[in-house]
A and B are shown apart, each in its own frame.
Chain A
Amino acid sequence: MGLLKALLAAGALALAIGVSGTTSAFAVRTDLVLGVTLEPPHLDPTAGAAAAIDEVLYANVFEGLTRIGPDGEVLPDLAESWTISDDGKVYIFKLHSGVKFHDGTDFDASDVKFSLDRARATNSVNAQKQLFAAIDTVEIVDPATVKITLKHPQGAFLYNMGWGDAVMVAPESAATNKQRPIGTGPFKFQNWAKGSSITLVKSDHYWGDPVFLDKVQFRIIPDPAAAVPAMLSGDVQAFPFFPPDAVSQLQDDPNLQVEVGSTEGETILAMNNKKKPLDDLKVRQAISYALDRQAIIEGASGGLGVPIGSHMSPSSKAYLDLTGEYPHDVAKAKELLKEAGMPDGFKATLKLPPPDYARLGGEIVASQLRDVGIDLEIIPMEWAQWLDQVFTKKDYDLTIVSHTEPNDIDIYSRRDYYFNYQNPEFNKGINELNLTADETRRDELLEKAQKILADDAVVGFLFELPKVGVWNKHLQGFWKNAPIQANDLTKVKWTD
């Protein structure tokens, strides 16, 4: 009797395993575990600069009037259409109707006014407050129409409204978004296990195209040494921003797909343009000639990344290839140093923040500059120190950093920026750019600006950071490039 029971039980068990095995093989998966290297400090994209915030929430939980698409293009989002007045100063946005926040409250024109007024208020702690600087007034025409008047025409206004820092929030939940984000997006926030993971689930009443995934867990894995086995074991199925120098260990796995694209991260050897002898154009040019970009890419970024000759992403439509302006030429560099009155070179410091591109790249840059007689003392720093000493107090000679904000060539026109660079002609071009909406003219102005920066050898332009994405080969819909730092999951799905 006992034996029979046991046999029956075993049979039932085998059947159960068989059945469940079959169902899971046929049903398409709707869950995803996605790896990210940095934990967001909080979950409000309108109150912090950390890219990690957008990497979780942009397009997934929060939406703006417009949004940035996979190739950096501006797409309609909560605004289904808009008109622009002839003088370029008045924008009228028509909003989608029937949009609800995740807490059930309605989204309408009053939320737009609230969000934009909050972002540009005196006590605003929006990290990209300059995006809203041109706005003069925001008026509610009717619940589905908003009129925004600018102080002056602004070419990039629609693009600016697509940033993560410009997403729409509700007055009821804005204060608590840091811990419990409430947006209008296709996914709603479920849980944040601090130090470990953030979980989003599909929102029940989304206004737009339905998404394919029911549940997404963002798992925080800071160490590349841990990210590799996590991907190999299948615990994590996608890692859209994978550390470039560790990806070679995953390339041979037949279950994984590795895709290398571009970012908006211009990696530069920044120079203090006011500090002797770097205030001398010839010295800066000598440094530019001394750099061998390909060798730097090999060592600092696992051979991935595109050389740049000015401050513009090669994937940008206005990109001008200026890498030929200062080819790697040691003799020329030495000659320029001699002309500058320093035939024996000089000593300087190179302060390096923590990312690998800086620490590894710094070693190579130092050795390349040693070849022309410039002796660099390498000083490694953590981010907090770097922001304080180099960025804020401008107490540095040279440093390596990647400027990851999109379309940020205007930083060279900022007064008191850490490059200590000022060129009235460049500033004039940037001012005109800000006021120009015409695409052809904008491209002309951008090209001119790139040329000026290269001519002035303001900094040593190194390479564009690659975006290295890894995911299970049955997954599709991830972005190849990163025009902004985001993990847009609205199109991601499992296929068989």
Chain B
Amino acid sequence: MIAYPARRIAIAIVTLVLASIVVFTMLEIVPGDPARIMLGMNASAEQVAQLRHQMGLDAPLLLRYLHWTGGLLKLDFGQSYTYSVPVIDLVAERMAVSLPLALIALALSTIIAIPVGLYSASRRGGTGDTIAMGTAQLGVAVPNFWFALLLIYLFAVWLHWVPAGGFPGWDAGIGLALKSLALPALALALPQAAILARVARSALIEVLSEDYIRTARAKGIPRRAVLWRHALRNAMIPVLTIMGLQFAFLLAGTIIIENVFYLPGLGRLVFQAINQRDLIVVKSVVMLLVAIVIVVNLLVDLSYALVDPRLRGRP
């Protein structure tokens, strides 16, 4: 009973430590000096050295690693070289955009994908299925930035319903903020919905061929009820797995959409920090994301044990 969770937690901790070493070392190897980037091409070598000293970049490697990880343990993510503000503040600001955007996009994609998947699976091979899956194929193939530009030209430039981009902040009012997230959420959701619909369809088709479905039908339960009550529930496992992966992607991997809509999201923060060699921001945000993924996986692993009693006894 104890062995399985304890083992999972231990693995998670070891993974975090290894990840911190890898992240730190990789960023040390990458060429580029944040001080030189800040001072530009006209500054002398002495001045660059002066700034490096002020930023604490001239301390020995091991000391800086211990300082950094020690800070992480106390939830102190350090101070951005370029912005000179605490990294945690920057992350919090960006999360206020990225988290709602990811959640809205995920909700939209689920709302679209599940009914389409159900419909296609129940009419497998029919005209409706062919059209739906053809559209989904297109949705997977079309790059989301291109789709985003189409949305901008239609709804912002032509119809003037929403702004072409930018984020006014939540202080400007929930209505305005949501309005500016509408197009990016849609642009993010549709390709994800296309993938999810295909996964849902194939998972449902597999479940529908199971014996217990035939048994249920034989007992006289209506087709629709079988689909909703028996098939969908059992097909949810692969669907949920994909959704979990999509959420991680939507949170940090939306840099292109953030650029097209010039949204101040987490992806752009990391991208900008890499360009300016604001390594402390890169390190800390990457570690934070690693931690989130590890914790989510841990929770999923532990929940398997709750669902499947057979796992509990296993080490």
> Could you list 6 A-B pairs, sorted by A, with CB under 8 Å?
A48-B39, A124-B50, A129-B47, A196-B167, A384-B33, A403-B41
- A392 CA to B38 CA in the complex, in Å? 14
A residues near B265, Cβ cutoff 8 Å:
195
B residues near A128, Cβ cutoff 8 Å:
42-43
- A104 CA to B72 CA in the complex, in Å? 40
Are A383 and B84 CB-contacts (below 8 A) given A41-B38, A125-B54, A392-B33?
no
Evaluate contact between B165 and A42: CB separation under 8 angstroms: no
The reply to whether the CB of B166 lies closer than 8 angstroms to some CB of chain A is: yes
- A296 CA to B145 CA in the complex, in Å? 29
The reply to whether the CB of A6 lies closer than 8 angstroms to some CB of chain B is: no
B residues near A226, Cβ cutoff 8 Å:
152, 164-165, 259-262
The reply to whether the CB of B93 lies closer than 8 angstroms to some CB of chain A is: yes
B214 CB to closest chain A CB, in angstroms? 53
Partner of B38, one of A49, A223, A225, A230: A49
The reply to whether the CB of A39 lies closer than 8 angstroms to some CB of chain B is: yes
- A194 CA to B93 CA in the complex, in Å? 8
The reply to whether the CB of B94 lies closer than 8 angstroms to some CB of chain A is: yes
Evaluate contact between A125 and B272: CB separation under 8 angstroms: no
Are A232 and B51 CB-contacts (below 8 A) given A49-B38, A226-B262?
no
The reply to whether the CB of A405 lies closer than 8 angstroms to some CB of chain B is: yes
The reply to whether the CB of B157 lies closer than 8 angstroms to some CB of chain A is: yes
A residues near B83, Cβ cutoff 8 Å:
41-42, 179, 194
Which residues of B pack against A, CB within 8 Å? 30-34, 36-44, 47, 50-51, 54, 82-85, 90, 93-94, 145, 149, 152-153, 156-157, 160, 163-167, 169, 259-265, 268-269, 272, 274-277
Are A194 and B264 CB-contacts (below 8 A) given A49-B39, A223-B259, A229-B156?
yes
Closest to A131 in B: B42
A residues near B32, Cβ cutoff 8 Å:
382-385, 387-388
Are A235 and B262 CB-contacts (below 8 A) given A384-B32, A389-B31, A392-B33?
no
Evaluate contact between B33 and A388: CB separation under 8 angstroms: yes
- A159 CA to B46 CA in the complex, in Å? 25
- A282 CA to B173 CA in the complex, in Å? 66
B277 CB to closest chain A CB, in angstroms? 5
> Which stretch of A214-222, A342-350, A449-457 is in the interface?
A214-222
Partner of B262, one of A178, A219, A405: A219
Closest to B48 in A: A392
Closest to B51 in A: A125
A residues near B90, Cβ cutoff 8 Å:
194
Are A50 and B38 CB-contacts (below 8 A) given A196-B169, A389-B31?
yes
Evaluate contact between B31 and A233: CB separation under 8 angstroms: no
Q: Which of A124-172 contact B (CB under 8 A)?
A: 124-130
The reply to whether the CB of A391 lies closer than 8 angstroms to some CB of chain B is: yes
Are A127 and B166 CB-contacts (below 8 A) given A41-B83, A225-B149, A229-B157?
no
Are A235 and B51 CB-contacts (below 8 A) given A49-B43, A179-B84, A194-B93?
no
Residue of A220, A222, A230, A391 with most partner-chain B CB within 10 A:
A230
Evaluate contact between B272 and A235: CB separation under 8 angstroms: no
B residues near A42, Cβ cutoff 8 Å:
82-84
- A193 CA to B274 CA in the complex, in Å? 20
- A80 CA to B43 CA in the complex, in Å? 30
Are A223 and B262 CB-contacts (below 8 A) given A49-B40, A383-B37?
yes
A123 CB to closest chain B CB, in angstroms? 6
Evaluate contact between A229 and B166: CB separation under 8 angstroms: no
A residues near B152, Cβ cutoff 8 Å:
226, 229, 233
- A128 CA to B196 CA in the complex, in Å? 54
- A123 CA to B48 CA in the complex, in Å? 11
Evaluate contact between B169 and A193: CB separation under 8 angstroms: yes
Partner of B165, one of A193, A221, A388: A221
Evaluate contact between B39 and A229: CB separation under 8 angstroms: no
B6 CB to closest chain A CB, in angstroms? 41
Are A221 and B262 CB-contacts (below 8 A) given A41-B82, A226-B165, A387-B32?
yes
Closest to A197 in B: B166
B residues near A408, Cβ cutoff 8 Å:
42
Residue of A42, A130, A179 with most partner-chain B CB within 10 A:
A42
B residues near A48, Cβ cutoff 8 Å:
38-40
- A125 CA to B54 CA in the complex, in Å? 9
Are A235 and B42 CB-contacts (below 8 A) given A385-B32, A387-B36?
no
Closest to A219 in B: B166
B140 CB to closest chain A CB, in angstroms? 22
- A202 CA to B213 CA in the complex, in Å? 71
Closest to B272 in A: A39
A254 CB to closest chain B CB, in angstroms? 14
A166 CB to closest chain B CB, in angstroms? 13
Closest to A418 in B: B41
B residues near A229, Cβ cutoff 8 Å:
149, 152-153, 156-157, 164-165
B residues near A220, Cβ cutoff 8 Å:
262
- A41 CA to B40 CA in the complex, in Å? 12
Partner of A235, one of B36, B166, B167: B166
B45 CB to closest chain A CB, in angstroms? 8
Binary interface profile of A, 49-61, with partner B (CB < 8 Å = 1, else 0)?
1100000000000
- A232 CA to B262 CA in the complex, in Å? 15
Are A223 and B33 CB-contacts (below 8 A) given A41-B82, A125-B51?
no
Residue of A47, A130, A383, A384 with most partner-chain B CB within 10 A:
A384
